[in-house]
């Protein structure tokens, strides 16, 4: 069987990780503009105010804002059929609650769309990739405040109306389920630190996160409803950070614990966005933890009226969990878990598990029965730029190839897989560490963790390999 004829081969990025130009043409600050560079062993800092002593990677990132034409031409050279990127909310509404959108910001993305159209590359647009305007975090306490629902719907409608002719595939929120993790509260402005703290050491409050999440679901549903009124050809997708979980042992307690974590972390958000209602297990869990999200009848109707129609997810790794005590806790992996003796790990301790992708594809297709798209997958590695301008990255080819083989098998199993967007198709700033040296791209960008370098783009070996994969529609791996 293999990949469909019109399979969407491509790559993915996010605004705050590539654009730079952090205050140019009227852009306001985003929450990630106040997060410093860190490393695998040294956590990033969130500094509520800009502190000139620190380096903030999103200020310049890979300078895509000024180089988008060159970058898109390189994507086209690889034969991309689709490109997933996000719009920076703070470029369109710099203060979050501005009366009028910032025309310069709208123009920038319009130019990006025109460039993509030139090469027949289908855009897949993330409306909010975990980087709300800083002003929304400070003035409104981010998504904890229900007023932010209307601000988001206004922002989304502005995009739908302006870019209607260019876009079919929209993603209202990136990795929406990460609000089940304390780490992601910042990106949604839900818990905004008053004082400097480490990225990993942010204050946490489960109840606040769950209330913020409810507002996000309502905002998504309202935006989807409005979007469909504007153009019925629009498709709206979930975007789930799918952390595939395995029980570390066959102890029944382990199996049960993993099953429950899976329901809560992986399934809750997609269940709500695709079925239009809070699942019973999540409502019960909230009740058990004493959290009242005040879900009204009106909220329930809103959720039903704005359901998505395709399932997308990011997949990098699986994790193993146990109720028993194991010594081999994976230290650097922000998702936690215990070392899986059957899997190798990346330098950043992320387990590499291609078979887990097939398992995940089957699991989600069986559950939702809607078209599925992989909107992020890839491996972060240290690459070396040789003197002759080449970059040899066989490890990246191996990682992606092994995942593509498992995708093929999942298609043969009957999964309706419509696209694959390799994460960080061009090197970009890492979210978890703020580093540039954790590279995902087929295209190397000559800059380091402190923003030094020529910013010149170089084609890695994987660039030529991926081009052949696309040319042969996945036959030539
Ligand atoms: C996903 C995010 O969680 O993982 C991306 O959507 C992120 O924005 C990617 O870059 C990889 O994580 P990291 O920490 O290696 O950048």
Give the ipTM of the model, two decimals please: 0.98
**Domain membership flag for residue 2:** no
Ligand 1 pocket test, pick from 88, 186, 376, 437 with the greatest ligand atom count within 8 Å of Cβ, gives 376
CATH of the domain at 430: 3.20.20.80
* Catalytic positions: 175, 376
> Which tokens belong to 467?
């081009």
**Domain membership flag for residue 244:** yes
Distance 251 CA to ligand 1 centre (A): 32
Q: Which domain holds residue 130?
A: 8-471
> pLDDT at position 398, please?
98
**Domain membership flag for residue 335:** yes
**Domain membership flag for residue 1:** no
Distances (CA, A) of 173 to 133, 213, 336: 14, 11, 23
> pLDDT at position 332, please?
55
**Domain membership flag for residue 3:** no
Taking the CA of residue 178 as reference, the ligand 1 atom at the shortest distance is 3
pLDDT band at 193 (very low <50, low <70, confident <90, very high): confident
User: Nearest C-alpha to atom 5 of ligand 1 is from which residue?
Assistant: 431
pLDDT, average across residues 374-393: 98
Taking the CA of residue 241 as reference, the ligand 1 atom at the shortest distance is 3
> pLDDT at position 324, please?
87
**Domain membership flag for residue 188:** yes
For the segment 61-118, what is each residue's pLDDT rounded down to a tens digit? 999 999 999 999 999 999 999 999 999 999 999 999 999 999 999 999 999 999 999 9
pLDDT exceeds cutoff 90 at 44: yes
pLDDT band at 330 (very low <50, low <70, confident <90, very high): low
Is residue 250 within 8 Å of residue 324, measured between CB atoms?
no
**Domain membership flag for residue 476:** no
Catalogue the long-range contacts made by 199-204 (C-beta closer than 8 Å, 24 or more residues apart).
199/35, 199/38, 199/43, 199/44, 199/45, 199/46, 199/432, 200/43, 200/334, 201/43, 202/46
pLDDT exceeds cutoff 80 at 183: no
**Domain membership flag for residue 443:** yes
Q: How far is it, in rounded angstroms, from Cα 441 to Cα 425? A: 4
User: 432 CB less than 6 Å from ligand 1?
Assistant: yes
User: 376 CB less than 6 Å from ligand 1?
Assistant: yes
User: 88 CB less than 6 Å from ligand 1?
Assistant: no
Number of domains making up the chain: 1
For the segment 198-225, what is each residue's pLDDT rounded down to a tens digit? 887 888 899 999 999 999 999 999 999 9
> pLDDT at position 331, please?
55
User: 174 CB less than 6 Å from ligand 1?
Assistant: yes
User: 14 CB less than 6 Å from ligand 1?
Assistant: yes
């Amino acid at each position: 069987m293999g990949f469909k004829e019109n399979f969407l081969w491509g790559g993915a990025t996010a605004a705050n990780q590539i654009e730079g130009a952090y205050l140019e043409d009227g852009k306001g600050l985003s929450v990630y503009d106040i997060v410093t560079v860190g490393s695998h062993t040294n956590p990033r800092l969130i500094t509520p105010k800009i502190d000139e002593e620190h380096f903030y990677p999103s200020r310049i990132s890979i300078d895509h804002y000024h180089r988008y034409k060159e970058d898109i031409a390189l994507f086209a050279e690889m034969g991309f059929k689709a490109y997933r990127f996000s719009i920076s909310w703070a470029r369109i509404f710099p203060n979050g609650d501005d009366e009028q959108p910032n025309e310069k910001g709208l123009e920038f993305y319009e130019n990006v769309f025109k460039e993509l159209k030139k090469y027949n590359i289908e855009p897949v647009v993330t409306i909010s990739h975990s980087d709300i305007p800083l002003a929304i975090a400070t003035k409104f306490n981010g998504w904890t405040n229900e007023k932010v629902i209307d601000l988001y719907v206004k922002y989304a409608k502005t995009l739908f109306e302006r870019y209607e002719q260019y876009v079919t595939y929209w993603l209202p929120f990136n990795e929406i389920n990460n609000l089940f993790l304390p780490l992601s509260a910042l990106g949604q402005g839900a818990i905004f630190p008053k004082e400097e703290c480490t990225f990993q050491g942010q204050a946490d409050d489960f109840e606040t996160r769950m209330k913020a999440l409810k507002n996000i679901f309502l905002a998504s549903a309202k935006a989807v409803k409005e979007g469909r009124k504007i153009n019925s050809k629009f498709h709206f997708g979930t975007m789930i950070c799918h952390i595939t979980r395995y029980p570390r042992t066959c102890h029944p307690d382990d199996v049960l614990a993993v099953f429950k974590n899976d329901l809560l972390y992986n399934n809750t958000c997609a269940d709500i966005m695709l079925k239009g209602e809070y699942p019973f297990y999540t409502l019960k869990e909230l009740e058990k933890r004493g959290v009242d999200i005040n879900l009204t009848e009106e909220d329930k109707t809103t959720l039903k009226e704005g359901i998505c129609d395709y399932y997308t997810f990011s997949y990098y790794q699986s994790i193993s969990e146990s109720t028993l005590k194991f010594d081999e806790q994976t230290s650097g992996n922000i998702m936690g878990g215990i070392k899986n003796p059957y899997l190798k790990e990346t330098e950043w301790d992320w387990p590499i598990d291609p078979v887990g992708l097939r398992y995940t594809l089957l699991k989600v297709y069986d559950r939702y029965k809607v078209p599925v798209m992989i909107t992020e997958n890839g491996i972060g590695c240290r690459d070396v730029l040789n003197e002759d301008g080449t970059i040899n990255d066989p490890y990246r080819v191996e990682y992606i190839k092994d995942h593509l083989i498992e995708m093929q098998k999942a298609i043969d199993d009957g999964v309706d897989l419509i696209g694959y967007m390799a994460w960080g198709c061009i090197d970009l700033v890492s979210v978890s560490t703020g580093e540039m040296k954790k590279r995902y791209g087929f295209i190397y960008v000559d800059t380091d963790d402190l923003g030094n370098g020529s910013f010149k783009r170089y084609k890695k070996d994987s660039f030529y390999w991926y081009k052949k994969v696309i040319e042969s529609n996945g036959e030539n791996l």
